[in-house]
Amino acid sequence: MIKSRSLFTIIAAHKTIALVAFVVTVVLMNFVAFVLVKPYYSSDVAMIATGQQKTNDVATKNIKTYQSFVKTPLVITPIYKDVVDRFDYSGTKTDLKDSIDIAADEDSRIFTITATGHSASEVKYVASRTAQILQTETSKLESSENIERLTTGHTVAHVHRLNRWIVITLSVLCGVLVAILMAIWREFANSHVTKQELQSMSDLPLLGVIKLDK
């Protein structure tokens, strides 16, 4: 029985199924991580509000206004039309809207427009185009300030993917765990109670064996 055998002995006795379970687990996890899970890209454009606000509260309020403004059809519609024509974008306007964000530190006039997606050229264009439209259209807002672009040169796309070594390490650990569990399961499945085990487990003597006719 399992309690009388060491874990190493159990694994050794069922090394074939343990090895198969280990290999399948490692291969499956790496396949999902590196083949099925696609990397995504992000592109940032830094902007600064250069108006002469009297307080930082006004700057913070204006940046919150920009955060809402980039989600409006005035900004999203022309960008959506461009990405569909240029990059065969298959998402909806809502998807595009959700992929654009504005972030800023508290009480700061500097904010960052970030676009995310599965195409490097696409996210670079979306981030740059959003900054351009925001810079043009916010000048029409009441009590607005000038917005200048701080990011110089071409917009850069950053790739985000799963860390290869972390995935490999986790897959190996999971493979070892699955191999151990499969070996233990196999040991349970193959275990049977012998005549000697019955005698050791019971104070009653074994009187005999009854044979049943088929």
Q: Which of 10-19, 86-95, 106-115, 123-132 has the lowest mean pLDDT?
A: 106-115
**pLDDT tens-place string over residues 5-47:** 687 888 888 889 999 999 999 999 999 888 888 888 999 998 8
Rg of the chain over Cα atoms, rounded to whole angstroms, equals 32
Which residues face 102 on adjacent strands? 113
Higher pLDDT residue, 156 or 186?
186
Give the pLDDT confidence score for residue 38 in this predicted structure.
Answer: 82
Determine the pLDDT at residue 198: 47
146: tokens are 């000038």
Point out the least confidently predicted range of 4-18, 82-96, 186-200. Answer: 186-200
CA distance 113 to 86: 21
What percent of the chain lies above the pLDDT cut of 90? 32
Residue appearing with tokens 């916010």: 138
Residue 126 has pLDDT above 90, yes or no: yes
Domains observed in the chain: 2-36+164-190 (no CATH), 40-160 (3.30.70.1130)
